[in-house]
């Protein structure tokens, strides 16, 4: 196999959770370009329909399903349906996630549990559902969308940081437990990515200055910019392909260097 061929996803079935838009959509479109058949879910039919239209616009014949990834019974039914209608899943990207920016002392235990449920329990549930098929096939790739909060804390994100820290360790444990079956489980830790959700944080202020949070991110990032969803596509293809067959239990941070940088000395 030539080196470029080792990055091909031709003939593979890829399930990317919550991939109607944003980071999941960018990863799934890259997989389609690399030859994979794309399957995605979202929690509402309207979001699935929106996603299907977006994929169609890019010439991608994706398969969309409604499923709540925190519901183990629903996930098991989804995976069974995908295996029957599309094929056994070769690649899983646990992308679906939420964040609640609430100071810890103001956050209810129920709100904390909800974030843990979506961002940590769901990747466990979906991974558990696809691993038997991967074992039977003799190979598989699981990619968990971690975060810089898998390594760092920040005010107002106690639940998110706890979940993403746990997801890093779930990644390592899946690698440890199922590596012998030729299953690789790795993570991608995005930095601050320019998406519609982060657009308000990048708006120019009435006085012509940058938003304070925008200034903060640019100052903390050696690349001196926000990331783009396209910056995640190459790493995602690498971790889903045969090129990464001996990479296991690793989190690849795509953050423009933030985690490597202590910041500028005050003038």
**Sign of dihedral through CA atoms 113, 114, 119, 120?**
positive
CA proximity to 223, closest of 194, 266, 198: 194
Q: Is 160 a catalytic residue?
A: yes
**Do 167 and 120 meet the contact criterion of CB atoms below 8 Å apart?**
yes
DSSP string, 138-189: T-EEEEEE--GGGT---TT-HHHHHHHHHHHHHHHHHHHHHGGGTEEEEEEE
Instruction: Please give the Cα distance from 69 to 24 (Å, whole number).
Output: 14
Given the residues 31, 55, 65, 160, select the one marked as catalytic: 160
Catalytic residues: 160
């Amino acid at each position: 196999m030539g080196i470029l061929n080792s990055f091909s996803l031709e003939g593979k079935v890829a399930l990317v959770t919550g991939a109607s838009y944003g980071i999941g959509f960018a990863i799934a479109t890259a997989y389609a370009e690399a030859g994979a058949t794309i399957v995605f879910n979202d929690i509402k039919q309207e979001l699935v329909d929106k996603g299907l239209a977006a994929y169609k616009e890019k010439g991608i014949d994706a398969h969309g399903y409604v499923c709540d990834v925190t519901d183990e019974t629903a996930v098991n039914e989804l995976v069974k349906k995908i295996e029957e209608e599309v094929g056994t899943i070769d690649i899983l990207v646990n992308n679906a996630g939420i964040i609640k920016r609430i100071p810890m002392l103001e956050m209810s235990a129920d709100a904390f549990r909800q974030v843990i449920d979506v961002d940590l329990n769901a990747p466990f549930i979906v991974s558990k559902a696809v691993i038997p098929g991967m074992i039977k096939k003799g190979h598989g790739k699981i990619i968990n969308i971690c975060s810089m909060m898998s390594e760092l804390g920040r005010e107002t994100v106690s639940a998110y940081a706890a979940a993403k820290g746990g997801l890093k360790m779930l990644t390592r444990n899946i690698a440890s437990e199922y590596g012998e079956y030729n299953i690789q489980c790795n993570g991608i830790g995005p930095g601050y990515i320019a998406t519609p959700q982060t657009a308000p944080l990048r708006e120019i202020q009435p006085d012509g200055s940058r938003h304070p949070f925008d200034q903060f991110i640019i100052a903390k990032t050696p690349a001196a910019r926000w990331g783009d969803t396209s910056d995640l596509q190459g790493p995602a293809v690498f971790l889903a392909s045969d090129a990464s067959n001996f990479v296991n239990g690793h989190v690849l941070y795509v953050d423009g260097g933030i985690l490597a940088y202590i910041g500028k000395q005050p003038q």
